[in-house]
Amino acid sequence: MSMDVTFLGTGSAYPSPHRGASALVLRTEGECWLFDCGEGTQTQLMKSQLRAGRITKVFISHLHGDHLFGLPGLLCTVSLNTSCDPQQTLNCVDIYGPRVHELEPTSDQSSEEGQLSAERQLPRQVSSSCLRYRHLPRQVSGSCFRYRQLPRQVSGSCLRYRQLPRQVSGSCLRYRQLPRQVSGSCLRYRQLPRQMTAEHGPLHPQEQPGRTISLDVSSDSYLLFEDKKFVVKAFRLFHRIPSFGFCVQEHDRPGRLKTELLKELGLKPGPLYGRLKAGDPVTLESGYVILPSEVLEEAIPGRKVCILGDCSSIVGEGPLMLCSGADLLVHEATLGNEQREKAVDHGHSTPEMAAAVARACCARRLVLYHFSQRYKPCSLQKEGDEDDVSELKSQAEDALQDSGIEVTLAEDFLTLPVPLKR
């Protein structure tokens, strides 16, 4: 089974002409998992070889805008590209991320003043960003202009897929569910319900109540998802607001069959080989039972990809064990080593700090990303530029001397394969 990682945005703070805001896609056969969704992610998707309709899971590391402002538009685009055939099987998009705190207006929301107050609070409540200006919406009335008043609720789009936001809050993680299509309806807009639920606030018309995922204290991680192929866990990071990293672990694959031994036992190649490979015992006509453990070589270890959100360090020792032996460790390096104090003050890392994590968990390959926009990609670097992104790679390599860990600088649209282990 093929697996690769494509970087859609490798810059910090905001998208620029040379680096998009944070976003990357882990692609396996048949589906794509999106990690963070900064502003402009869907445009980056369109420029890549990836298909937005293949996205089945979205993981948001934290609630700063450069990691999530692209999500609403992307979800609407996925909806538009989804068939509205009521006979089609409902698919879903799982969305995992930190808990969004409820809005707490300081005055009566029924009044215009109260509504403006609540609107101004939104940036701080959702992303903890303190804007340096006031936003005063104004409406034009009179006979010279015609206008229509839009409801204050978010557009109320009737999305054609299921959305499962799973929200992490210190010791728990929550999610919601939205159907992928509109049952028997071609309407694209519906009004959001006004009522509030105790835990989640107003639900989208296609949204279903979710569940709470608690912290596993023994491993200091959250079990987000597990199926026959993968297990995905989240772990906590130090940042200015709650931030998380993700570990995607492929299950071990069965070892090769000892075909010569099977022939000696009297079992010819055929469907029974598949049963043994799947872990099922096989009984011969003589009554002898062949156990898979007898005829299978050692299991082939699964691949592991670890993607860390914004951080200055990892919380606890558990995550280091979780990330141990990662084939790919994706770690931010916002600023160079010479600006370590500034990086830490803002909850970010330097190449040397990222290298320390890679060494601690014995990663095979360290990929640096989330660079300050001052660092242009190597292809756009000009002689004499003060901020040389290649210097960040050198700083990480210096910290990893004699470790055997490969260092890669991520650039927008870079695709890195994660090969099968042999």
Tell me what pLDDT residue 70 has: 97
Task: Single out the residue in 268, 295, 322 at which a domain terminates.
Answer: 295
Tell me what pLDDT residue 99 has: 76
Question: Is 66 marked active-site?
Answer: yes
Q: Would 114 be classed as within a structural domain?
A: no
Query: Per this entry, what is the length of the chain?
Result: 422
Specify whether 191 is located in the same domain as 312.
Answer: yes
At 349, is the secondary structure helix, strand, or coil? coil
With contact defined as beta carbons under 8 Å apart, do 208 and 200 qualify?
no
Mean per-residue pLDDT of the chain: 79
CATH number at residue 42: 3.60.15.10
Specify whether 169 is located in the same domain as 199.
Answer: yes
In terms of pLDDT, which residue wins out, 258 or 89?
258
Tell me what pLDDT residue 368 has: 98
Specify whether 287 is located in the same domain as 375.
Answer: no
Q: Which token pair is 124?
A: 């701080």
Question: Is pLDDT of 238 > 50?
Answer: yes
Specify whether 274 is located in the same domain as 245.
Answer: no
Specify whether 367 is located in the same domain as 235.
Answer: yes
Specify whether 203 is located in the same domain as 320.
Answer: yes
Tally of domains within the chain: 2
Specify whether 413 is located in the same domain as 264.
Answer: no
At 208, is the secondary structure helix, strand, or coil? strand
Q: Would 120 be classed as within a structural domain?
A: no
With contact defined as beta carbons under 8 Å apart, do 33 and 25 qualify?
yes
Tell me what pLDDT residue 325 has: 97
Euclidean distance between CA atoms 348 and 64, whole angstroms: 13
Burial 205-219 (b: 16+ CB within 10 A, else e): ebbeebeebebeeee
pLDDT in tens, 8-65: 999 999 999 999 999 999 999 879 999 999 999 999 999 999 999 899 999 999 999 9
Who contacts 238 (Cβ-Cβ below 8 Å, separation ≥6)? 311, 312, 313, 314, 315, 347
Specify whether 162 is located in the same domain as 237.
Answer: yes
Q: What is the domain range of residue 202?
A: 3-100+155-252+301-417
Q: Would 335 be classed as within a structural domain?
A: yes
5-14, 94-103, 104-113, 361-370: least confident range = 104-113
Q: Would 113 be classed as within a structural domain?
A: no
Q: Would 129 be classed as within a structural domain?
A: no
At 65, is the secondary structure helix, strand, or coil? helix
Euclidean distance between CA atoms 268 and 257, whole angstroms: 12
Q: Which of 4, 36, 66, 227 is an active site residue?
A: 66
Confidence of residue 121 (pLDDT cuts 50, 70, 90): very low
Euclidean distance between CA atoms 274 and 272, whole angstroms: 5
DSSP class of residue 254? P
Specify whether 307 is located in the same domain as 368.
Answer: yes
Cβ count near 380 (within 10 Å) = 12
Share of the chain above pLDDT 90, in %: 50
Largest CA distance in the chain: 95
DSSP string, 8-32: EE-BSSS--SS-PBSEEEEEETTEE
Task: Single out the residue in 272, 295, 318 at which a domain terminates.
Answer: 295
